[in-house]
Structure 1
């Protein structure tokens, strides 16, 4: 009976993370020489030292085709990303694209990377800490470990480009707890200029019933057993993103998570079916601009899973990246893809 209950919890938690089921060209990207190697236990197939190195994949228009391509071609690089010889234009920072849970650089950013590169940005996106049996399922492991890996990745970017700070665009975990842990716990407050968060899982994913059961209904011993089991399976981030998890309380429950000098933009849609309720994405803290997509584009029905392929959200993200050159968003109807 106990094992059946745990299996049910595991199945529910798996559904709340952003799922990614679904010819390679160009030379693979490489890190600068002399980089400290990433521990093998958090290295993903095709991504030595976290860098997708299996060649560039085609630009996709929806998340599911991108995810299927990434599953079939582990370590696919989003077009234009991870060129460590790129030098940002004066006034620009390197742009780091952080994927969501159960996703990787290509599946999350196959649309963004070539577009941002064409705009003249130096774009980077890493793969870390996932399920090697499903090579497109990155960022399933402990968020603290992923944040440490991202910290090293950012340091490599700053060294290679000669920059002092980066701008981060992140989706789901990659826009919420992952960069916020890096910023508040690992010195990222000195290395990040802008954090542009797309549907970030800041105050927890749903369903609420699962969160309440795991974190409130069970006693401390059973809670620790659940955390241990998830950690051993390298899916700790599933449990950590529940609204009342110990990790969530540690990160968001001790005063403001924002830091002075960083410009935060949060973009979220009311049809998000993973960050539930959708208002969990927002931070009402100093330095934060919260944007509800439907206040600008009422016909946008994009769900969580397709948020990084929403052309309206993309325009809002680009405006946040360079607010001095912001342009009116040209809205296009977006379907709900669950």
Structure 2
């Protein structure tokens, strides 16, 4: 027991030091009032006024690493075809909003998806919010509640511009799990979302359960609150919130079903996910959810979490979920593990 307390004390100290270091390059977000969908300037990202990437379209990339490096060098890069607010959806289609993961922005996450979906005739949108301003490709590190409120306002803007009644969401990691689920369950998104297609979503926690358990069960309540506070002050609250036993995760997923009637849910996950661990943490076993394990269709797909939005097999599955009436057989392509 003494050893556990010593480890807890060391971890608390290290967490505070790391969080303080991040705090020197980032301001804490302002919490909007419940129901307020305005975007505080504190959570806008460089090159993305009002959350809209405005630094010009970037080239299509084939790897998350090259896309992320390009995003870092060119803040506010727009994925090709995205965020055309003059776009009008075809009959039977909803606008598609692509939600990035933690430590990622619209371009880094979706430089492959956006031009492909645009060519298929979809109106595509993707926002940047609530990250580290000194690392402009690191969006969505801040409090997930604040990010969800910003996304709520962005969706309203998309609906107003396109004249649509609902959007379809495709999200990766945080952007497929806690972020849209908070929006749908807490902020009225269930009335504005037709489909949620979640790619490797962090629904029930990232990292091993042992780590998540240790933080909550070994540490005292005061130590845990200290960690939460340090992460929030450093604008990296989303890291702690995505632990399976965080208070945020318990609030969102621990009070009954997280799904809502009227929303169609598709979860696509791979067994080689090295961030959402075990990979089954991604799945929701609730009404209205279709859980897809990539390897049940494409045995030689070894894509890790980090490169999941550049997996062409996953893309085909996501497009089929977007338009199930015109679904096509997936042509499997070997995917290497890129950790």
TM-score normalised over the length of structure 1: 0.91
Check if 1:197 corresponds to 2:198: yes
> Could you say which residue in structure 2 is the equivalent of 1:99?
100
**1:305 maps to 2:306:** yes
Higher relative contact order (CA 8 A, sep 6+): 2
1:78 aligns with 2:79: yes
Cα offset, 1:10, TM superposition: 7.4
Q: Confirm or deny: 8 A CA contact 2:38 2:150 kept in the other structure.
A: no
> 1:235 maps to which residue?
236
- Alignment CA distance shift 1:295-1:192 (3 Å): same
Taking only aligned residues, the RMSD between alpha carbons, in angstroms, comes to: 1.6
1:63 aligns with 2:69: no
- Partner Cα distance (2:152, 2:332) in 1: 35
Alignment-derived partner of residue 163 in structure 2? 162
Aligned equivalents of 1:204, 1:232: Cα separation in 2: 21
Instruction: Please state whether the residue corresponding to 1:267 is helix, strand or coil.
Output: strand
The structural deviation recorded for 1:5 is 2.5
Structure 2 equivalent of residue 284 of structure 1: 285
Unpaired runs of 5+ residues, structure 1, are 14-35
Q: Assess, with a 3 A threshold, how the Cα gap between structure 1 residues 50 and 3 changes in structure 2: closer, same or farther.
A: farther
Any idea what SS the aligned residue of 1:228 has? helix
Matched, 1:6 2:7: no
Structure 1 residue runs of 4 or more that deviate by more than 6 Å after TM superposition: 10-13
The answer to whether residue 148 in structure 2 is matched with residue 142 in structure 1 is no
| Structure 1 SS opposite 2:317 | helix
Note the alpha carbon deviations across 1:38-93, whole angstroms, 9 max, x for none: 21110000000000000000000000000000000000000000000000001100
> Post-superposition shift, 1:6?
3.0
Q: d(CA) in 1 for partners of 2:246 and 2:298? A: 33
Deviation at 1:210, TM superposition (A): 2.4
1:266 aligns with 2:267: yes
1:117 equivalent in structure 2:
118
CA distance in 1, matches of 2:105, 2:16: 21
| Alignment correspondent of 1:43 | 44
Query: Corresponding residue for 1:337?
Result: 338
Q: Which residue number corresponds to residue 188 of structure 2?
A: 187
Task: Please tell me whether the aligned partners of residues 129 and 139 of structure 1 are also in contact (alpha carbons under 8 angstroms).
Answer: yes
Report if the CA contact (8 A) 1:57-1:78 is conserved.
Answer: yes
Say which SS state the counterpart of residue 267 (structure 2) adopts.
strand
- Which residues in structure 2 correspond to 1:218-257 (within 5 Å)? 218-257=219-258
Q: Distance in 2 between matches of 1:143 and 1:89?
A: 32
Structure 2 residue runs of 5 or longer lacking an equivalent are 1-5, 20-36
- Aligned partner of residue 196 in structure 2, secondary structure: strand
Confirm or deny: 8 A CA contact 2:101 2:109 kept in the other structure: yes
Q: Tell me, yes or no, if the aligned pair for 1:9 and 1:210 is still in contact at 8 Å.
A: no
CA distance in 1, matches of 2:11, 2:207: 18
Separation (CA, whole Å) in 1 of partners of 2:310 and 2:299: 17
Residue 8 (structure 1) shift: 4.6
CA distance in 2 between partners of 1:153 and 1:187 (Å): 13
Q: Secondary structure at the match of 2:90?
A: coil
Alignment correspondent of 2:27: none
Is the Cα–Cα contact under 8 Å of residues 38 and 153 in structure 2 kept in the other structure?
no
Provide the secondary structure at the position in 2 that maps to 1:285: coil
